[in-house]
Copies of this chain bind each other. A is one copy, B any other.
């Protein structure tokens, strides 16, 4: 094997499991470490080299959008077969919760997700790609046996894909109470009318099932009971994928992000998830761990960006002003800041993952929100530095950096924009305020007691006591 996939500063090999931050090691089983090393090897040796082939196969029927979204690159199926053989399959389903998963904790899977995030094919190759992962959790947690059999089975087998349809173009979807796709009961059926966008994955021909949030009870006084989540097979009459959305110029074919209209789309009531009016429960149950997965993939993406940066720093063909980039101090500074920021971000994600593992996503609300803000901003900063080091090549198709940047940019928006998490964090933190105000007052009172006790006057360091322009009365 000619790919030196694991590299230390001396050019030697340090495996992924050896690089787990010491603070996280007690939480990682031996089995997970072995799998982690396998994941890294699979990503570096199989997936990353396959990424460009995958990109090429997307154009097999033509380079126009219709053709690109009809493509199904063969290489991804071959990678899936390899992954499955290696036992790298469905690692995302958290242990103790789901018998269908590989039995890893969120922390353990998080460590693996970092490596998956370095390649554009690795997540799908191991059946760990969003939005299927979150959707499978929904089925596993809330699905009826019938729903599970029909959809979860094929999803777990990587035979079909799925989409989660929540965001709508005409409202401020960052506040989910605004979601308004009309979901009207008509006998044993629900009739859906409205539109969805950012339906990620809907472009893929293999995407067979949509999980759809809509408003079934618009007049419910509790705004968190107005919405429901229902299953809509992709071939249900009345659905049209009007167009795909671009992400800073990228179409993300064949997966893509669909803008879909619903025109009297009828689905049987047995497709309802968890029950009418329980849409928020479903959505919230779905989001926590997924944010950790995203975050760890972003950490991996940042590591890959830094690797590209370091490679360019040492490219003997690129010597502006007679020196390697690596000999320019302003470049070394950027490398160092990237190193610091990536390592700090990783620890934050791992801590959040452990918190979820030891309790649940709801209890880890703060940690997840922190990570949701910190990580994508870190990733974009690291990517920006790497792009700048590459110059023209950095913004072009010749490195993966530009595409990574575009994807990274959406991370500040999806699953709640930065601002929603920031204000939530700010408000939660602020709840301590009144008690802290009291504590500081109590400490000041204690200080006054101490002054008395020591026979001192609480004199200001710059006390003057100058009376009406006269002398100081000290």
Contact = CB atoms under 8 A, between A and B. Distances in A.
Contacts of A333: 330, 333, 419, 422-423, 426
Contact of A434 (B11, B63, B418): B11
Given A75-B450, A310-B429, A320-B420, 19 more contacts: A9-B429, A52-B458, A69-B466, A167-B392, A174-B320, A174-B391, A244-B464, A245-B398, A246-B249, A249-B403, A311-B433, A330-B422, A332-B423, A333-B419, A334-B426, A336-B373, A339-B370, A344-B347, A347-B351
A247 interface: yes
Q: Main SS of the interface on chain A?
A: helix
Contacts of A469: 208, 234-235, 239
Contacts of A417: 388, 391
A75 B460 contact: no
Question: Lowest 9 A-B CB distances belong to which pairs?
Answer: A249-B249, A332-B426, A329-B329, A314-B433, A49-B446, A9-B431, A235-B469, A336-B425, A336-B426
B464 A69 contact: yes
Interface stretch (A23-31, A85-93, A96-104, A123-131): A23-31
A310 B433 contact: yes
A215 interface: no
Nearest to A427: B332
Interface in A337-358: 337, 339-340, 343-345, 347-348, 350-351, 354-355, 358
Given A315-B437, A406-B248, A464-B65, A425 B4 contact: no
A318 interface: yes
A409 to B, nearest CB: 6
Contacts of A335: 425-426, 429-430
Interface stretch (A53-61, A149-157, A277-285, A290-298): A53-61
A375 B161 CA distance: 44
A245 B397 contact: yes
Contacts of A394: 413
A56 B243 contact: no
A208 to B, nearest CB: 8
18 contacts: A5-B439, A7-B432, A11-B434, A44-B439, A63-B63, A64-B64, A169-B392, A243-B460, A243-B462, A247-B396, A310-B430, A336-B373, A336-B421, A340-B370, A340-B373, A388-B418, A391-B417, A397-B462
A410 B395 contact: yes
Contacts of A451: 52-53, 56
